[in-house]
Amino acid sequence: MGNLVWHELARLVSITASICEYCFSTSIVASNTVAIRCSVGRFLGALFPQVLLDFVGGIVRNPGGIQPAPGVAVFITLIVKAPIIQILVMILGLTMIALEFSLPQVKGLAIYRSFVVRIVLLFFQAFLCILFYQGTNACLYSLIALGCYTRAQMLGEKMEVAKENRGKGGRA
Amino acid sequence: MGESWFRREFLTGRRLAFNVIFYGLHFFFFGYGWHSQAINTKLAALNALTWSVWTSRGAGLVLAFDGGLILLPMLRNILRVIRPKLQWAFPADENIWFHRQVAYSMAFWAMVHTTAHYVNFFNVERTQVRPEIALDIHYTQAGGITGHFMLLMMVLMYGTAHNKIRQQCFEAFWYTHHLAFFFMIGLYSHATGCFVRDTPEPTYTFTFPFYSTSGCLGYESWRFIIWPGILYFGERMYREYRARRATRLSKVLVHPSGAMELRIVKPSFKYVAGQWLFVQVPDISGFQWHPFTITSAPEDPYVSVHIRQVGDWTQALGDRLGVGPSVVANMTQAAMKGTEKDEKTGMTRGDFVEIDSNNVTLPAIRIDGPYGAPAEDVFSAEVAVLIGAGIGVTPFASILKHIWYRQKRGNLGTLRRVEFFWVCRDAPSFGWFQTLLQEVEAAQADPNFLRINIYLTQKIGEDMLWNIAVNDAGADYDPLTLLRTRTMFGRPDWMTIYGQMKQAVETGQYIPGSKSQLKTKVATYFCGPTPLAKAIREATEHHTSASVNFTFAKVCCYID
């Protein structure tokens, strides 16, 4: 009792964050591509991409909502016109999930036991998530997971070697 | 594996009934929430947002229901009182299990509710059904703020409550879970922003609840679900008051096996055998309450707990009492060396050392309890099977002592026989329990009343093997436990044990004078790890027949 293994807590929070952001980014990308007229599409279509920063200098139009200021045009291109950022986030999310839920293929790799890889990935995830409307919570959770992993790294915690790799020395 | 996980968890017996009722209610509330929103003409403007608003309202009502349920299994004192009366309806021992089911359901519906609201707010902004933008609703209005905070608290609380984390660091779980206080406040005030309304602007008032109930058309669910919260808060206050009543640590005994026995005198503390309590030592930590099984019988003039120094809190307690881990380790080593009866000092392995209270001032102590399943119904069964595994043997100290006291008074109820099983990996480390068993065993007049079965599952080294072989033959006492009962080696085969018991009961050999047309109740009480519990439960279920009724109960649910 009393000895918190930080990377295990971090793993749980990171899974939450990754699933959270993966679901949202997927649904946004899907809503861009799925035929809007089919009934599923209509529900998802409501999750139209929106830029978080668009309130900076934007004006509210009725109906239509916020019309972003020209200053954030680059985000409009990357998020609304083409879902570049969402696709990046999707890929990142999938990578995180593969890493944390540890696909059998990933378990054999050395990066599976690296906290630094996770910290970097989570940093990018947090950064990209905050750019669009639905990503705020995922960003926050990613930052918490990032903090926990950093703590784990600082304390010199070691990830347990996956069962299949035991006895392989430094090769896995 | 045999049967599948899904079948075992969801489709058998009481679980099935529970699932039908529990999830049935959830879907009913979801449907009702959805429907009542969809047909409400006052909310026509909101209904223009279609599915997302119906989904969010339905899921919101389900969440309110869950929020009302989540604290119910945590009302420990109320549960302790009503448990005996409701044993037939639900296994009240499994309150933590129920708490978890509600929490899982809450996580799922929170996901549905939040997703739907992300859609809602976005569409509110796009259609300007209200003159506000999505981010305003998310981060400036009561509903949005409390919602996001509740989600964050859920991530933290669920994360630290995970089995693995909780076992590594109970404090992380315990302290983080107190976010529940703010979570509940968030829940009760979630609707105060008057999001569900028939006007574009909210209608606030200056009197409680600070919004107009004619214009704000939420479910007002807080009126119903706030009561468990108030009860729980009251209970925590009561526990605090009760813990502050006069308590005195009267004696500390150190057993060579490393266990410290604290004898506490608290006249206001009433309990029955098999219960447990929380201990707090303000000198070590003013916040931490640690659960321990009560090892004294209600007849004893004191309350005792046996504490092994395994974690940082228990080791700090040892240091505070002047018997830190190093001191105890020396004593344990001496005891393990096999000095069974030391001629010089006359000490046996089970003897204890009392701490000289002149050298060390005994610290102040607070206890809270009792909690847990009373094993009082031992006396309503003909046969009691008590099974302890490893440290899980502790509740049976109290139960065995209690049985022993009642036996002396000739007040055993219907109890005719007691089978006691102790499955442990290494017998010598539980010296204090041997002393107790020796006493109880020596006091038996009827050799058939209490049978002690000790199983040692440890792999035995060559030295020990020879030791046993040489010492065991012809000796009056078992060389390992110093009991008259012989230690058995390897794991017990529960199917065979119960099968033989059933056969013996049915043929009338087991209980003298019992007629086979009367149904014999054989009550099993178990404390130990879950896989073993499962094996025993299966054995009891398998052997229950028309004439023998095997029941199964776990007596220490705080472990998991």
User: Number of helices (H) and strands (E), helices first, in chain B?
Assistant: 19, 13
Q: Pick the range with the lowest mean pLDDT from A41-45, A131-135, B1-5, B144-148.
A: A41-45
Q: Residue A66: pLDDT above 70? A: no
Percentage with pLDDT > 70 across chain B: 83
Predicted pLDDT at B336: 55
| CA A83 – CA A80 distance, rounded (Å) | 6
Closest-CA distance, B155 to chain A, in angstroms, reads 7
**Who contacts B422 (Cβ-Cβ below 8 Å, separation ≥6)?**
B387, B388, B389, B393, B396, B433, B452, B453, B454, B455
Helix axes A136-154, A115-129, angle to 10 degrees: 160
Predicted pLDDT at B345: 41
Residue B390 to residues B352, B450, B454, B465, Cα–Cα distance (Å): 20, 20, 11, 21
* B259-265 and B303-308 strand pairing: antiparallel
Nearest to B273 by CA among B303, B250, B251: B303
DSSP code per residue over B284-319: T-SS--EEEEB-S-TTSSSEEEEEE--SHHHHHHHH
| CA A27 – CA B235 distance, rounded (Å) | 45
Residue pairs spanning A and B at CB distance below 8 A:
100
A19 interfaces chain B, CB cutoff of 8 Å: no
A156 interfaces chain B, CB cutoff of 8 Å: no
Nearest to A20 by CA among A102, A126, A172, A148: A126
pLDDT band at B63 (very low <50, low <70, confident <90, very high): very high
pLDDT band at A42 (very low <50, low <70, confident <90, very high): very low
Q: Which residue do the tokens 């043997």 mark?
A: B393
Three-class secondary structure of residue B128 per DSSP: coil
User: Which tokens hold the place of A81?
Assistant: 């016109």
Are residues B151 and A137, on separate chains, in Cβ contact within 8 Å? yes
pLDDT band at B373 (very low <50, low <70, confident <90, very high): low
* Partners of residue A60 on adjacent β-strands: A66
Residues of chain B with Cβ-Cβ distance to A55 below 8 Å are 133, 135
Residue B145 to residues B53, B131, B137, B149, B245, Cα–Cα distance (Å): 19, 19, 8, 6, 41
User: Which tokens hold the place of B373?
Assistant: 């399943």
Residue B446 to residues A20, B416, B440, B449, Cα–Cα distance (Å): 65, 11, 12, 6
A22 interfaces chain B, CB cutoff of 8 Å: no
User: Which tokens hold the place of A156?
Assistant: 């010199």
Are residues B169 and A13, on separate chains, in Cβ contact within 8 Å? no
Closest-CA distance, B554 to chain A, in angstroms, reads 23
Residue B72 to residues B290, B379, B436, B468, Cα–Cα distance (Å): 22, 29, 38, 53
A30 interfaces chain B, CB cutoff of 8 Å: no
A146 interfaces chain B, CB cutoff of 8 Å: no
Nearest to B243 by CA among B372, B367, B78: B367
pLDDT band at B176 (very low <50, low <70, confident <90, very high): very high
Out of B123, B148, B158, closest to residue A46 by CB: B123
Interface test with chain A among B55, B122, B307, by most A beta carbons within 10 Å: B122
Residues of chain A with Cβ-Cβ distance to B162 below 8 Å are 8-9, 12
Closest-CA distance, A150 to chain B, in angstroms, reads 17
Three-class secondary structure of residue B41 per DSSP: helix
Nearest to B353 by CA among B248, B260, B250: B260
pTM of the model: 0.79
A67 or B245: whose pLDDT is higher? Answer: B245
B321: DSSP letter: T
Q: Residue B64: pLDDT above 90? A: yes
Closest-CA distance, B131 to chain A, in angstroms, reads 8
Instruction: Render pLDDT for B447-504 as a digit per residue (tens, 0 to 9).
Output: 778 888 888 887 777 777 777 777 766 666 666 666 666 677 777 888 888 888 888 8
**Which chain A residue shows the shortest CA-CA distance from B175?**
A2
Look over chain A and give the mean of its residue pLDDT values, rounded to a whole number: 74
User: Which tokens hold the place of A50?
Assistant: 């929106």
A27-56 mean pLDDT: 50
Residues of chain B with Cβ-Cβ distance to A23 below 8 Å are 115
Buried b (16+ CB within 10 A) or exposed e, A106-119: ebebeebbebebbb
pLDDT band at A34 (very low <50, low <70, confident <90, very high): very low
A47 interfaces chain B, CB cutoff of 8 Å: yes
User: Which tokens hold the place of B248?
Assistant: 């005195």
Residues of chain B with Cβ-Cβ distance to A42 below 8 Å are 51
The alpha helices in B357-493, defined as continuous H runs, are 394-409, 431-442, 462-472
Predicted pLDDT at B60: 93
Closest-CA distance, A52 to chain B, in angstroms, reads 8
Q: Pick the range with the lowest mean pLDDT from A140-144, A152-156, B424-428.
A: B424-428
Instruction: Render pLDDT for B16-40 as a digit per residue (tens, 0 to 9).
Output: 888 899 999 999 999 999 998 888 8
pLDDT band at B331 (very low <50, low <70, confident <90, very high): low
Residues of chain B with Cβ-Cβ distance to A66 below 8 Å are 125, 133
Out of B155, B170, B311, closest to residue A141 by CB: B155
Q: Are B246 and B324 in contact (CB under 8 A)?
A: no
The alpha helices in B169-324, defined as continuous H runs, are 170-177, 180-188, 222-243, 312-320
- B-facing residues of A in 80-119 (CB < 8 A) are none
Residue B450, classified by CB atoms within 10 Å of its CB into exposed (0-12), middle (13-18) or buried (19+), is buried
Instruction: Render pLDDT for B202-225 as a digit per residue (tens, 0 to 9).
Output: 777 777 777 777 777 788 888 899
* B450-456 and B487-489 strand pairing: parallel
Q: Residue A69: pLDDT above 70? A: no
Predicted pLDDT at B517: 56
Are residues B165 and A136, on separate chains, in Cβ contact within 8 Å? no
Interface test with chain A among B165, B167, B177, B309, by most A beta carbons within 10 Å: B165
Q: Which residue do the tokens 């315990």 mark?
A: B174
DSSP code per residue over A147-163: HHHHHHHHTT--PPPPG
**Who contacts B447 (Cβ-Cβ below 8 Å, separation ≥6)?**
none
Residues of chain A with Cβ-Cβ distance to B310 below 8 Å are 1
Q: Are A25 and A90 in contact (CB under 8 A)?
A: yes
Three-class secondary structure of residue B455 per DSSP: strand
**Which chain B residue shows the shortest CA-CA distance from A134?**
B118
Predicted pLDDT at A169: 56
| CA A129 – CA A125 distance, rounded (Å) | 6
Are residues A47 and B118, on separate chains, in Cβ contact within 8 Å? yes
First to last CA, chain B: 22
Question: Chain-centre distance of CA B296, in angstroms?
Answer: 20
CA dihedral B375, B379, B383, B384 (to 10 degrees): 20
B65-74 mean pLDDT: 92
Select, from the ranges B14-23, B42-51, B320-329, B369-378, the one with the highest average predicted confidence (pLDDT).
B14-23
| CA B410 – CA B416 distance, rounded (Å) | 12
Which phi and psi (to 5°) does residue B421 adopt?
A: -115, 135
Percentage with pLDDT > 90 across chain B: 17
Residue B329 to residues B318, B348, B434, Cα–Cα distance (Å): 12, 17, 19
**Which chain A residue shows the shortest CA-CA distance from B127?**
A63
pLDDT band at B321 (very low <50, low <70, confident <90, very high): confident
Look over chain B and give the mean of its residue pLDDT values, rounded to a whole number: 80
Are residues B168 and A1, on separate chains, in Cβ contact within 8 Å? yes
User: Which tokens hold the place of B201?
Assistant: 């602007």
Q: Pick the range with the lowest mean pLDDT from B70-74, B176-180, B309-313, B514-518.
A: B514-518
| CA B142 – CA B188 distance, rounded (Å) | 11
B421-448 mean pLDDT: 72
Which residues of B make CB contacts under 8 Å with A?
A: 51-52, 115, 118-119, 122-123, 125-128, 131, 133-135, 138, 148, 151-152, 155-156, 158-160, 162, 164-165, 167-172, 310-313
Out of A1, A24, A140, closest to residue B152 by CB: A140
Are residues A1 and B170, on separate chains, in Cβ contact within 8 Å? yes
| CA B383 – CA B419 distance, rounded (Å) | 8
